[in-house]
């Protein structure tokens, strides 16, 4: 096809290879100035039958929509367009100039663990984003991970979702079946091989890839334990125990024993101490000239030595998300609070002024004046900010820096980690938890820092050279602040209390942020509560709780759970059914579900103005909690009990749930996590609002 013109626009330059999509070509776009290069992927269904083509066309359109959405991430190629030509389907994607990760595997030496750590930190956020879009990649392997030359970041390519189009068989009735499990031998998890991939299937593939790099063995060469089917690899790699433990859990044979999300892996890595000096296996030393550092050119001199080097590297390569997280870790380290994971008000009082200014100046310099605490301070002042500011001002500030929109605080995952973000958007480093409530905690934290800037007019005596501002951006502003010493702020707690009540409650945890003693109870409770939108039948927790009737089979969700668990669940509950009353809770095994136990909360239908309806629902929660200790339950997930066909208004059911959950968690330490699972956006908003009101009183 070389030289061929497709769609009157795309000229084939050369073939790039054949993969899961079919043939891939390098092409030029003749309708764009300069004829930029792009990637043209040709998908050819196995059958040209009319019915087959129509089914393939429908799948193609569906998956193209997915790729359009995924392309909003900077580490996923943009899908420019798609079209059909002579029964073949074509995707036109962004061309990524770089090398696949397999080229970083040494032929003589196994990969150093510090590089494995860098890979994971680079790839996990992308996987997290993909999974948040309800997409499973299904083909994570070295050749589908490209190190982009322009910024040194790893880009994820070649999504397995679209491979369905090329691997299907369509019978005469145009019914579709799939003959093979999508994925690559060695990197594919057993449940994916059976045609039932899960989010943790991608976690498995990434873990196997890392083990391959550490051992120098292809995944198909790795031995398995004949009794457990677990991969036996530790004796073939020189790796620290902490990282090995994480990788082991990533590649468990039973998907229920794996990390269930990229966020869980990321959180586990925060507790791993990687030995940068540990030599790779199969060698006593690295070859001459080999380095593990990410190359960064032109870093300004920074006082304080190596402790800022990683932050500088991330900022210099415009890895803003990684820089934000590193800022968090660095500040915790400087305050001596890395073992706790959060800062207190007294830590802010005693935080070294020069260190704070150095961090700020690095952000300001590398962002051309767009990001930094001092930028946030300028915006705060322009809005009339002060330590006595009221709630609306904090909301206005959140909107100004892009942390708040449409009367809601954004979760961390929705922040904009690029120079297109509003001025002052970063750092937002104390709002890390993507699966939790949002950025208001950062407003609180920044508010206290800004009060220190206001009181002390902090500026660093050693600042990096100012860079010329980009048109339309805020110029570097540290140089126009007078040099002054830090003034002790005696009423920081007053500032914190003013800010926390209306704003910091958007998050169920402050374990990566700032807390005061007055909030300890609320914070402890919130740290063990998670509100998510999802499918409760997919959660690998100790127990799930669903609404039902005294028959133990009433309600749509109850029937779905029973169908998923298998007939054994019905047989077990039928033996329990006689004598069940509203307000009680009945426990049974999970069988084919990923959960160990299924609790049936027997609720009654909602009757307006009838207090007993609400009391019965509250009793369901209490009786469910009463079952946790006897059955060794540490994690429990509640559906939206009483809603749907049972008729409870969302806001009432949510308030009852939040009240009972708070009451239990405030007075009991036995549960590690309570998860409220919402199936719709409306339910999520209602349960979130109730948690904010009941737990934090705002």
The pLDDT value given to residue 161: 47
Residue 302 falls inside a structural domain: no
Residue that terminates a domain, selected from 494, 527, 560: 527
In a domain, 295, yes or no: no
Q: pLDDT for 94-150, tens place per residue?
A: 999 998 888 887 544 577 888 898 899 899 999 988 888 888 888 899 989 999 998
Sign of CA dihedral 416, 419, 422, 424: positive
Q: What's the pLDDT at 309?
A: 83
Whether the Cβ atoms of residue 585 and residue 602 lie closer than 8 Å to each other: yes
Say if residue 439 is in the same domain as residue 572.
no
64 & 150 share domain: no
Pairing of strands 635-638, 673-678: parallel
Q: Which two tokens stand for residue 400?
A: 């100004």
Total domains, the chain? 4
Identify whether 275 is part of a domain: no
Look at residue 182 and tell me if it is in a domain. yes
Do the annotations mark residue 149 as ligand-binding?
A: no
- Asked if 45 and 164 sit in the same domain, the reply is no
Cα distance between residue 625 and residue 81, in whole Å: 52
Same-domain status, 321 and 422: yes
Claim to verify: residue 256 and residue 317 sit in the same structural domain: no
The domain that holds 225 is classified in CATH as: 1.10.510.10
Residue-number span of the structural domain to which 661 is assigned: 530-696
CB 458 within 8 A of CB 486: yes
- Residue 60 falls within a domain, yes or no? yes
Boundary of a domain, candidates 75, 94, 113: 94
The model's pLDDT over 54-71, given as tens digits with 9 standing for 90+, comes to: 766 776 777 788 888 787
On the question of a cis peptide bond just before residue 465, with omega within 30 degrees of 0, the verdict is no
Q: What is the CATH number of the domain that holds 665?
A: 3.40.220.10
Q: Burial of 483 by CB count in 10 Å (0-12 exposed, 13-18 middle, 19+ buried)?
A: exposed
Positions of the chain with pLDDT under 50: 20-21, 107-108, 161-181, 282-304, 432-442, 444, 453-521, 523, 698
CATH number at residue 55: 3.30.200.20
Please indicate, yes or no, if residue 631 is contained in any of the structural domains. yes
Catalytic residues, which ones? 139
Residue at which a domain ends, from 509, 527, 545: 527
Q: In the prediction, which pLDDT does 160 show?
A: 54
Domain-located, residue 276: no
Q: Are residues 556 and 519 located together in one domain of the fold? A: no
pLDDT, residue 301, reads: 39
pLDDT score of 305: 52
- DSSP tally for the chain: helices H, then strands E: 21, 21
In this predicted structure, what is the pLDDT of residue 256?
93
One-character DSSP codes across 196-238: ---HHHHHHHHHHHHHHHHH---GGGS-B-TTT--B--GGGS-
Report whether 206 contacts 188 (CB < 8 A). Answer: no
Is residue 547 domain-shared with residue 689, that is, in the same domain?
yes
What is the distance between the alpha carbons of residues 430 and 569, in angstroms, rounded to a whole number?
Answer: 44
Chain mean position to CA 320: 15
CA angle, 265 then 267 then 271, to 5°: 110
81 and 125 fall within a common domain: no
338 and 368: one domain?
yes
Query: Within this chain, do residues 332 and 223 fall inside the same structural domain, yes or no?
Result: no
Backbone phi and psi for residue 57, each to the nearest 5 degrees, phi listed first: -65, -40
Q: Give residue 109's pLDDT.
A: 54
Check whether residue 158 and residue 262 sit in a common domain: yes
Strand spans (E) along 395-542: 404-405, 408-409, 514-515, 529-533
| 3-class DSSP assignment, residue 674 | strand
300 within a domain of the structure (yes/no): no
520 with 534, same domain: the answer is no
């Amino acid at each position: 096809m070389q030289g061929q013109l497709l769609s009157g626009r795309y000229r084939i330059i050369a073939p790039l290879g054949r993969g899961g999509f079919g043939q891939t070509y390098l092409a030029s776009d003749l309708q764009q100035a300069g004829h930029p290069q792009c990637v043209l992927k040709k998908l050819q269904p196995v059958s040209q039958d009319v019915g087959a083509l129509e089914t393939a066309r429908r799948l193609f359109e569906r998956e193209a929509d997915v790729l359009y959405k995924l392309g909003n991430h900077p580490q996923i190629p943009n899908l420019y367009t798609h079209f059909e030509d002579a029964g073949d389907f074509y995707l036109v994607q962004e061309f990524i100039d770089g090398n696949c990760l397999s080229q970083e595997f040494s032929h003589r030496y196994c990969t150093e663990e510090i590089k494995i750590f860098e890979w994971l930190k680079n790839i996990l956020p992308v996987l997290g984003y993909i999974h948040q879009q309800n997409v499973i990649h299904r083909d994570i392997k070295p050749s589908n991970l490209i190190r982009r030359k322009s910024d040194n970041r790893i880009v994820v390519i070649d999504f397995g979702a679209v491979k369905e189009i090329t691997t299907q068989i369509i019978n005469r009735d145009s019914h579709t079946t799939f003959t093979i499990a999508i994925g690559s031998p060695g990197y594919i998890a057993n449940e994916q091989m059976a045609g039932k991939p899960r989010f943790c299937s991608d976690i498995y593939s990434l873990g196997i890839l890392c083990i391959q790099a550490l051992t120098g063995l292809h995944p198909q060469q790795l031995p398995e334990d004949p009794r457990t089917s677990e991969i036996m690899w530790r004796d073939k790699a020189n790796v620290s125990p902490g990282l090995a433990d994480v990788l082991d859990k990533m590649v468990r044979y039973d998907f229920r024993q794996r990390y269930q999300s990229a966020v869980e892996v990321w959180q586990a890595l925060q507790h791993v101490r990687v030995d940068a000096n540990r030599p790779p296996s199969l060698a006593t030393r690295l070859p001459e000239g080999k380095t593990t550092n990410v190359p960064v050119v032109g870093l300004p001199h920074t006082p304080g030595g190596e402790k800022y080097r990683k932050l500088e590297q991330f900022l210099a390569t415009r890895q803003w998300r990684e820089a934000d997280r590193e800022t968090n870790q660095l500040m915790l380290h400087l305050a001596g609070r890395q073992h706790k994971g959060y800062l207190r008000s007294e830590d802010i009082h005693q935080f070294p002024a020069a260190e704070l200014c150095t961090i700020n100046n690095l952000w300001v310099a590398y962002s051309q004046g767009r990001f930094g605490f001092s930028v946030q301070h300028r915006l705060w002042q322009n809005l009339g900010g002060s330590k006595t500011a009221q709630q609306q001002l904090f909301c206005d500030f959140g909107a100004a820096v892009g942390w708040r929109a449409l009367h809601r605080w954004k979760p961390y995952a929705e922040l904009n980690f690029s120079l297109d973000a509003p001025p002052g958007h970063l750092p937002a480093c104390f709002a890390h938890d993507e699966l939790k409530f949002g950025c208001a905690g950062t407003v609180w934290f920044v508010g206290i820092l800004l009060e220190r800037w206001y009181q002390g007019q902090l500026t660093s005596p050693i600042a990096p050279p100012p860079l010329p501002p980009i048109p339309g951006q805020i110029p570097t502003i540290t140089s126009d602040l007078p040099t002054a010493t830090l003034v002790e702020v005696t009423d920081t707690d007053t500032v914190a209390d003013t800010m926390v009540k209306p704003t910091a409650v958007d998050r169920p945890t402050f374990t990566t942020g700032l807390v005061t003693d007055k909030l300890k109870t609320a914070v402890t409770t919130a740290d063990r509560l998670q509100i998510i939108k999802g499918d409760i039948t997919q959660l690998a927790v100790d127990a799930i709780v669903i609404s039902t009737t005294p028959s133990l089979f009433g309600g749509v969700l109850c029937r779905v759970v029973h169908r998923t668990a298998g007939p054994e669940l019905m047989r077990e509950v039928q033996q329990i059914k006689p004598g069940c009353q509203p307000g009680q809770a009945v426990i049974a095994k999970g069988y084919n579900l990923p959960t160990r136990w299924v609790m049936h909360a027997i609720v009654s239908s909602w009757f307006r103005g009838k207090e007993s309806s609400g009391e019965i629902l509250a009793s369901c929660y209490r009786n469910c909690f009463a079952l946790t200790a006897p059955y060794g339950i540490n994690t429990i997930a509640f559906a939206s009990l009483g809603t749907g066909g049972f008729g409870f208004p969302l806001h009432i059911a949510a308030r009852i749930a939040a009240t009972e959950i708070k009451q239990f968690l405030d007075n009991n330490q036995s549960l590690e996590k309570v998860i409220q699972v919402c199936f719709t956006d409306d339910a999520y908003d209602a349960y979130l609002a109730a948690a904010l009101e009941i737990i934090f009183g705002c």
